[in-house]
Structure 1
Amino acid sequence: MNDKSNLSIAKYYNLIDLHIDRAHDDYIDEFLCNTKTYFRNNILLDTHYEALRRATHDFARDDTRINCTKVNELCLFLKIEYPKSCKDYFPFAIIE
């Protein structure tokens, strides 16, 4: 049985820093997907640009968009210029 509708959402009420720069793509997906994880606003997110791009399906995936709007500071490794789609996907974040 592969029904995931019964799974609980992991809730992180006190999370303020999320450092997943050395995490596998599955963990990035786990934290950013709003059907798997809940966290409040004003999160600092550290990750690699390419892993983030893959997890968000080139910054177009709807079920990761909700948690990405809660990020207010985004530190991306291994990327100097960011596409407009990345900036739009994190509308409240300062991107470094």
Structure 2
Amino acid sequence: MEQLTVINHKPQKRKQSYESHIDNENLSVIEYFFLNTLDIINVHDDYIEEFLFDTKTYFQNNVYLQINYESLKRVTHNFIRDATRINCTKINKLYIHHGSKCSNSLQEYFPYAKISHGGIF
């Protein structure tokens, strides 16, 4: 799969917390070896966590991520959350939806990304 768009504004049912997954070796990481475009603009924060936690999802470098700014800010705990940092470093293009004024920490959190706030790359 090279492109994935997820649309779901409802929270996940039976969601276990991230902390409870840390020591659980029975859970597999979902691997997206060929994913190059991930559109998660229209999703509940639970789904953003699923893709950005490196303990839940693995993808190669050079991913184009499309996401809502406020959701991204919440899930990354204002761009300081270690659990999402690894996958965020694999993003090379970042489209921020509804984020004309973004945090200064955003570029540091996405060190290899070209960041756009409404334009096309």
TM-score tier (shorter): over 0.9
Partners of 1:89 and 1:16 in 2: how far apart? 19
Report the equivalent of 2:92.
72
1:17 aligned partner, one-letter code: T
Query: What SS does the corresponding residue of 2:51 show, helix, strand or coil?
Result: helix
2:76 aligned partner, one-letter code: T
CA apart distance, 1:63: 1.2
Report the equivalent of 1:41.
61
1:60 aligned partner, one-letter code: I
Q: Runs of at least 4 residues of structure 1 off by over 4 A?
A: none
Q: Does 1:11 align with 2:31?
A: yes
CA apart distance, 1:8: 0.5
Q: Which TM-score applies when normalising by structure 1?
A: 0.94
Q: Where in structure 2 are the equivalents of 1:25-36 lying within 5 Å?
A: 25-36=45-56
2:43 aligned partner, one-letter code: A
Aligned residues: percent identity?
49
Q: Does 1:92 align with 2:112?
A: yes
Say which is worse superposed, 80-89 or 35-44, in terms of deviation.
Answer: 80-89
CA apart distance, 1:19: 0.2
Q: Which TM-score applies when normalising by structure 2?
A: 0.75
Query: What SS does the corresponding residue of 2:100 show, helix, strand or coil?
Result: coil
CA apart distance, 1:79: 1.1
Report the equivalent of 1:61.
81
Backbone CA RMSD of aligned residues? 1.1
Query: What SS does the corresponding residue of 1:74 show, helix, strand or coil?
Result: strand
Partners of 1:82 and 1:41 in 2: how far apart? 23
2:89 aligned partner, one-letter code: T
Aligned pairs, number: 95
CA apart distance, 1:81: 2.3
- Higher-Rg structure is 2
1:32 aligned partner, one-letter code: L
